[in-house]
Structure formats: C-alpha cells, structure tokens
Amino acid sequence: MAANHTLWLASDIHLGAGVPRTNRAFYDFLALARQQAQGLILCGDIFDAWIGDDHALKQPPVWLAEALDELRLTAQAIPLWLMHGNRDFLLGQKLAQALGARLLAAPCRLDTCMGPILLAHGDEYCTDDISYQRFRRVVRTRWVQRVFLALPLAWRRAIAHRARARSRQAHSDKPMQIMDVSPDTIIQALRMAHCTTLIHGHTHRPAMHALEIDGQAGQRHVLPDWEFDHVQPPCGGWISISAAGIQAHAWPPKAAPKDH
C-alpha cells in the first residue's frame, strides 16, 4: 500500500434477511468507502451464513441480490478483498470473480505504510475453546465441504439453520474468556509473522490492546461488529490504515463541526 493511500477494514457485518437496518447501514458505509478509501478489506463474517456460491449466483433472494450489487459497485470503484469468517468460510472464487473482488487468505501479513500488519478473522486464535477448534478443523476439511456443497440447497439451508441454533446454545453455556482469543496464541502468531501489530474481528469486543512481543511494543486492534436491528445503542465501525496511523472509527461517522 502506497504511503499516501488509505486502506479500510471492516468485519462481522452478518448481512442477512432478518437485519434490514444493519444491511442498510453497511451499504451506506460502502458508499462512503467508495468515495474516501483506496482499498477495502472485509475480514470475515460478511454474511450471517453462507451455504455456497451457487446460492448467490443462480437465484439469490432479494436481500442477497442487493448485498451483492453493493459489493460489486464497491469493487468497481476501489480494490475489494474478502476474507473468510467462521460463518461464511464457504465463500468461493466464483463469487469473488462475479463481484470483481479478491479472496484473501487468513491469516495474512500486510505490508502497509505503518509497517507490516498481521490480519485475520480472529476465530483461529480462540484456542482455549477446544470444542470450537475441533469443529473448525472438521468443517474446513475439503472433502467435508465438497460433500456439503453437493447437497440440495434446501438441505444446506436446514443444516446451516441447525448449526446456528447449536452455536447459540453452546455460546450461552461457555464462559466469555474461553470464547476470546488466547494471549499466548496471539504472541506466537505475531512471532511467526514477524509483526508487532495484529488486526482481527470475530470477538465483537472492539478495542486496542497493548502487547509486548520479545521486548518489543505491539498492538492488537479488534474490529467492531455491526448490529442495527436488535441492540441499543446500535454498533458498527471500521479501522483505517494510512499515513495518519491505525485509527478506529464508529458508524455512523460523527458530522464535522460547522464553521460559525
């Protein structure tokens, strides 16, 4: 990324049929990104669930067709990268090509004007949640994905619905600290990537955490989730990387003060 370029990152939007206000807020964000950013990375859980590219490319429901149109408009205006999350890990190359976007493997190292930055969705670092990590390994096995994607769409929808219900129940039974990232895993990941800065989503706990990696000062930035339908106050936002630094922004952005 060039020194005078601004890269935006967002995560955990959970677009879907049942969150029209969240969808609309995110589409307004995309419109602003097209005007002000030189690139946009969506770091996973863009959609609340993803049951295969064919679901989107053949006869998408109205809400999904609108979402894809907004993403396609964005990719036509600025470079757009899509990263897998824990809910939409089946996003494929066919969808990316149809949108004019690019899939970005996670975790990955970005060379930016602020130095190298490790970027991930974040669920891979929740290693204290042993049952989730076991499930994650299974569903990301290629032959398991091939079998699932060969099923009729109606079957896939039913399986996804049951999986979400089980996930909600499992979350309600687990201590919050187990579902957060493991500090030791974070340090190990930064060492392996030769970075001192990490940006991720997934945990829905936006913050900047100071770190120390082998005597060097570091940072862990957590992207916010988006929710404008079922919580008050609503939440949403993004992180920008530019010559001005790594900055967190809330959505909707605050209006600039008027001159008197």
The two three-digit tokens of residue 219, written as one number: 């940072």
169: phi then psi, degrees, rounded to nearest 5: -65, -45
Q: Residue 36's pLDDT is what?
A: 95
- What is the percent of the chain with per-residue pLDDT over 90, rounded to a whole number? 82
239 membership: H or E segment, kind and range = strand 237-242
Q: Which two tokens stand for residue 123?
A: 């669920």
Q: Is the pLDDT of residue 63 over 50?
A: yes
User: What pLDDT sits at residue 85?
Assistant: 96
Handedness of CA 45, 51, 22, 67 (dihedral sign): positive
Q: Above 80 in pLDDT, residue 212?
A: yes
| pLDDT value of position 44 | 97
| Mean pLDDT for the stretch of residues 172-199 | 88
What's the one-letter identity of residue 215?
G
What pLDDT shows up at residue 109? Answer: 95
Q: Is 94 helix (H, G, I), strand (E, B) or coil?
A: helix
pLDDT (tens digit per residue) in 29-57:
999 999 999 999 999 999 999 999 998 98
Greater confidence, 205 or 173?
205
pLDDT of 162 reads 86
Task: Encode pLDDT of 107-119 as tens digits.
Answer: 999 998 888 999 9
How many residues are listed for the chain in this entry?
260
How high is the mean pLDDT of the chain? 92
**Residue 178 has what pLDDT?**
74
Say if residue 183 is preceded by a cis peptide, omega within 30 of 0.
Answer: no
User: Do β-strands 245-250 and 216-222 pair in parallel, antiparallel, or remain unpaired?
Assistant: unpaired
Question: How far is Cα 108 from Cα 83, in angstroms, rounded to an integer?
Answer: 10
Q: Is residue 137 within 8 Å of residue 131, measured between CB atoms?
A: no
C-alpha–C-alpha distance, residues 34 and 111, integer Å: 22
